[in-house]
Amino acid sequence: MPIREDSDYTPPFHLFNGHVQTVVANIFRHLPPPVYERERIDTPDGDFLDLDWSFAGGGAGRLAIVAHGLEGHSRRPYIVGMVRALNRRGWDVVAWNFRGCGGETNRIERSYHAGDTDDLQVVVNHVCRIREDRALALVGFSLGGNLILKYLGEETVTRPSRLSGAAVFSVPCDLRDGALQLSRPANRLYLRRFLRELRRKLVHKAQRFPQLAPERLAGIRDFRGFDDAYTAPLHGFADAEDYWARCSARPFLRGVGIPTLLINARNDPFLGEPCYPWTEAADSSWLELEVPDHGGHVGFPLWGEEFWSERRAGDFLDEVDGRAAPTRPGGP
């Protein structure tokens, strides 16, 4: 697929670098929330996922599943903006909350992680069982984008034949690099915020599962420490390096078999060069890589209510929905 380095995204003049574009979009953006209808579904291991539905009305016949980033949820500005934009284009949307991210602690000891495609498969199977839309699309941000790309490239998952396309933004498709980038001095404030949220949630959960030993959090200063102590052992990995290697989306990109748009800004403070899969995109018939000079991390702000990422995702998904889909194997 073509690699686009001549993206048409231009930020407002006063948002002059990746840090400002990141902070303004994620901290200072305020939108009226969609009117969500919540549905709780069970997972095979006895846990649950909370799905928040937002309907375009008029029997849209098209459905998008939207996945948030690390410690996000369906009420984050970037999710709300995307849901509203897709609704305006006639897509019904389900914004799914990862385990423990929907406002209530999940039932079991484990949580979510960047490669947990089993949970995405549960969501996809559920919506395909209850809906008969002619088109199904996936949209993801950051960790949720990595999850979607890995899902699309895995040989062991069952993707529905009606899955028409995917659009993902600001994706650390090399998780090791993403963790190292966040440990840089320039990103210290972001790292502290993420770790604070993870600590708060873990301390609360330890009231039910004391074996989580929250006292170990005191010595953790970066994602390597957190993933070594918690993410890896809770989810069946040997250590942080094993988790990053097995769950990074980049090794799975050659298996992507539907039209997929990956947009990573060149000035994203969370991403280093390994997160820009130039070779995989150049060799793929399905993966389109777009690298705007600006945008920050889950940013891409514009004047007005709708951000550039929302317009770009809507245009791409409308386009692939209109294409004659090739024959793809199996699925619900």
Could you please state the CATH topology (level 3) that the domain comprising 3-174+248-322 is classified under.
Rossmann fold (3.40.50)
Q: pTM of this prediction?
A: 0.94
Query: CA nearest 179: which of 222, 140, 149, 144?
Result: 222
Write the burial class of residue 251 (CB in 10 Å: 0-12 exposed, 13-18 middle, 19+ buried).
middle
Which tops the pLDDT comparison, 257 or 305? 257
As a whole-number percent, the residues of the chain with pLDDT over 70 amount to 96
DSSP 8-class letter at 230: I
Judged against a pLDDT cut of 50, whether residue 325 lies above it is answered with no
Which runs of consecutive H residues, i.e. helices, occur in the chain?
Answer: 18-27, 77-88, 117-130, 143-153, 175-182, 188-205, 223-226, 232-234, 240-247, 278-283, 308-322
Identify the pLDDT of residue 155.
86
pLDDT of residue 1: 66
Is pLDDT of 298 > 90? yes
pLDDT of residue 332: 42
Q: Which residues sit opposite 52 in a β-bridge? A: 38, 95
Residues annotated catalytic, as ranges: 142, 268, 297
Residue 323: the pLDDT is 59
Strands 3-4 and 287-290: parallel
Give pLDDT tens digits for 209-244. Answer: 999 988 888 889 999 999 999 999 999 999 999 999
Indicate if the pLDDT at residue 330 is higher than 50: no
**With 0-12 CB in 10 A as exposed, 13-18 as middle and 19+ as buried, what is 8?**
exposed
Evaluate the CA torsion angle 306, 6, 267, 3 in order and state its sign. positive
Average pLDDT over the chain reads: 93
pLDDT in tens, 120-175: 999 999 999 999 998 999 999 999 999 999 999 998 888 899 999 999 999 999 99
Task: Classify the C-alpha dihedral 136-142-144-149 as positive or negative.
Answer: positive
Q: Is 59 left (phi over 0), alpha (psi -120 to 50) or beta?
A: left
Q: Under a CB-based contact definition with an 8 Å cutoff, are residues 178 and 222 in contact?
A: no
| Residue-range domain boundaries for the chain | 3-174+248-322, 179-247
